[in-house]
A and B are shown apart, each in its own frame.
Chain A
Amino acid sequence: MTLAAQELSVHAGPTALLEHVSLSLSPGEVLAILGANGAGKSTLLGRLAGERGSPVVRTTGRVLLDARPIESWRPRELARRRAVLPQNPSLAFGYTALELAALGRHASGDDARAALAIAREALRATDAAHLADREVPTLSGGERARAHLACALAQLWDAECDHARYLLLDEPTAALDLAHQHEVLGIVREFTRTRGVGVVAIVHDLNLAAEYADRVALLVCGRLAAVGESTRVLDPGNVEAAFDVRARTLEHPLRPGPLIAVARRSARGVGDRRPPHANRHPVSAEP
């Protein structure tokens, strides 16, 4: 049982957004996707979620969910197996945080009472229980992010479940303060361990990725530059190539494992070893 991309390529006209990406995720594992802006992270996440993308892009290769092409799943069956948290979730009308989280139970077949009970638990898990009766538009950015995360967790909440489940997160920590970044990724990792959910998360902070992910995948210009354990993938060479910065790894003073330190690459520096392919991707066509 895996969620897998096989030889996945996405082209918008002559521009490649993704090229020959193959990657798989098992239940119970956290995979972080790293890469510069425009490297294809959101495109990859969208395809793994089963989105077809805009009509102007051409997709080749396959995404398989439990060995079945993802587009062959019916929406409801698919929704019981994978949940998605988009980068900038929006919500029309003044639904409360509780009502929002309960929307995650749409495909579950729960009655309204059961859906609300799970929504409350999911809000508690994201440290947002006290926001249950607040209208989502009145919440701060971080509070709103936790309410939306609760909605995604509620979707995969069932403790007993006879199939694999996957949670796809597009920058779940973007709107959060430091404490809540760790809190949320901790919750997500806990969720994978206790419920056997596989997680793919786009993360920008290399050290957060190194701390919470079992494996990391590094995208450079639509290609999968490296995938594997964070200590191996996030070596200074890879980081410098992918993000166009200077990088060193040190021993982390507060926890086991490396600390990745980065600094701006000086424009006229002697040691400027910018590899030719490390430039920002010319098209930032992330949908």
Chain B
Amino acid sequence: MNAAVRPASSAPRGTVGVGARRAPRRLALATLAAALAGAMLVAIGIGAVPIAPDDVVRILLHSAGLDVEVDSQQAAVLESIRLPRVLLAVLTGAGLGLAGALMQGLFRNPLADPALVGVSAGAALAASVVIVLGAGATAQLGSFALPTAAFAGALGATALVYRVGHGGGAISLPTMLLAGIAVNAFAFAGIGFLTYVADDQQLRDLTFWNLGSLAGGTWPVVATVVPFVLLAAGAAVLLAQPLNALALGEARAEHLGVHVARIKLGAIVVTALAAGAVVAVTGVIGFVGLVAPHLVRLACGPDQRVVIPGAALGGALLVVIADTVARTAATPADLPLGVLTAVFGAPLFLALLLRMRRRLLAEAA
């Protein structure tokens, strides 16, 4: 290097600020997991028949085959009502959190959410079609008919929104959100039509999708959703590091050795898998997929290797808490969970928009 220019490099070069303050990753994930376990214990105990947390543990040990004394009524309530419902809450939150984190990584934008951009609506429309018109599909596939249809609907909606919002290697946020509005409008029009032609029994089933609820939380439902969410979680972990590279844009990710086309397809399929399966049994529950990854990113930074598992744990935690509130706030009524998450999620989304306003205006101009 030229000695003559060397000293100049020690000239003042911008402010030396404090580094980004971030929670240690393992600690953050462990804390989330512990909080989730605690919330599950408490949630299982709350309800018309209260069960203390130590009794919950005792009953769980009893059903695991250990010789512990338990109250048989409490045990029956826990095993047939509370446990499946809380487990469904965990799966729902984890699925939506995963879907949100993957979409935000794929769209390179923290405002992507499965409900917002029409992925959940696409899933709900396909599931509604099966409920009202698809007696044959139900006979063929049994309990997997709904999740499979919802997966296909979610896949179609994600691919469509991505296709429309994507141009010249970049994602346009306004276009993505507007495409989401169109998909939502179309899907809810379809659901409205199906509601109109549905018979009484079908109508009762359909009301799920309008409001979003975990009231259908039974063991068979849990068993149906588990494989979808586990598969999505496993695949999402593999996508984490490539999605980090994708934050640099598609061309640059390709330069770094990422097989971009494959990763984009993978992210779309896994998003649809997680969101579709959840929507099939719970209906549209908004904002969990938006908020969970956002909170993890605030605490731990944007590394997808933390955001993805963190969003799954955090989403599960949020839904377990929200569902406990939904079913106990106005007992014996069971408030629709989707209404509750929207009441808290929508203002949060607005706050996020306000924070990002300047950048959004610049992009829209």
- A: residues with CB less than 8 A from B are 49, 51, 54, 75-80, 82-84, 86, 89-96, 99-100, 103-104, 106-107, 112, 127, 130, 132-135, 138-140, 142-143, 151, 155, 178-180, 182-183, 186-187, 189-190, 211, 254-255
Contact = CB atoms under 8 A, between A and B. Distances in A.
10 contacts: A76-B257, A91-B247, A94-B302, A99-B302, A100-B248, A106-B256, A106-B258, A140-B14, A182-B5, A187-B1
A178 B257 contact: no
9 closest A-B pairs (Cβ-Cβ)?
A133-B19, A79-B257, A107-B257, A93-B302, A179-B8, A92-B108, A186-B1, A182-B5, A76-B257
B27 interface: no
Contacts of A104: 256
Q: Which of A75, A76, A83, A255 has the most CB of B within 10 A?
A: A75
Main secondary structure of the interface of B (DSSP, over half): loop
Contacts of A135: 20
Contacts of B254: 51, 75
Contacts of A84: 252, 255
Given A96-B20, A178-B8, A179-B9, A139 B251 contact: no
B14 A94 contact: no
B245 interface: yes
A117 to B, nearest CB: 17
Given A96-B19, A134-B17, A75 B9 contact: no
Nearest to A178: B8
A179 B14 CA distance: 14
A139 B20 CA distance: 12
B101 to A, nearest CB: 11
A134 B13 CA distance: 14
B303 interface: yes
A51 B5 contact: no
A91 B257 contact: no
Given A79-B257, A104-B256, 10 more contacts: A51-B254, A54-B168, A75-B254, A89-B249, A107-B257, A133-B19, A138-B17, A180-B13, A182-B2, A183-B8
Contacts of B108: 92-93
Contacts of A93: 108, 110, 247, 297, 302
A134 B2 contact: no
B333 interface: no
B244 A103 contact: yes
B259 interface: yes
Interface of B: 1-2, 4-5, 8-9, 11, 13-14, 16-17, 19-20, 108-110, 168, 241-242, 244-245, 247-249, 251-252, 254-259, 297, 301-303, 305
Contacts of B248: 89-91, 100, 103, 151
Contacts of A189: 1
B109 A92 contact: yes
Nearest to B4: A254
A196 B241 CA distance: 29
Contacts of B249: 86, 89-90
B2 A255 contact: yes
Nearest to B260: A75
Contacts of A187: 1
A99 B14 contact: no
A17 B4 CA distance: 39
A95 B2 contact: no
A78 B257 contact: yes
Contact of A143 (B1, B14, B109): B14
A100 B302 CA distance: 11
Contact of B9 (A91, A180, A255): A180
A142 B13 contact: yes
A249 to B, nearest CB: 20
B14 A142 contact: yes
A86 B251 contact: yes
Contact of B252 (A77, A86, A211): A86
Contact of B19 (A134, A142, A179): A134
A93 B254 CA distance: 19
A95 B14 contact: no
A75 B301 contact: no
A133 B168 CA distance: 32
B255 A179 contact: no
Contacts of B258: 75, 106
Contacts of B241: 106
B251 A96 contact: no
Nearest to B109: A92
Nearest to A107: B257
Contact of B256 (A79, A140, A255): A79
B2 A75 contact: no
A190 B305 CA distance: 34
Contacts of A80: 257
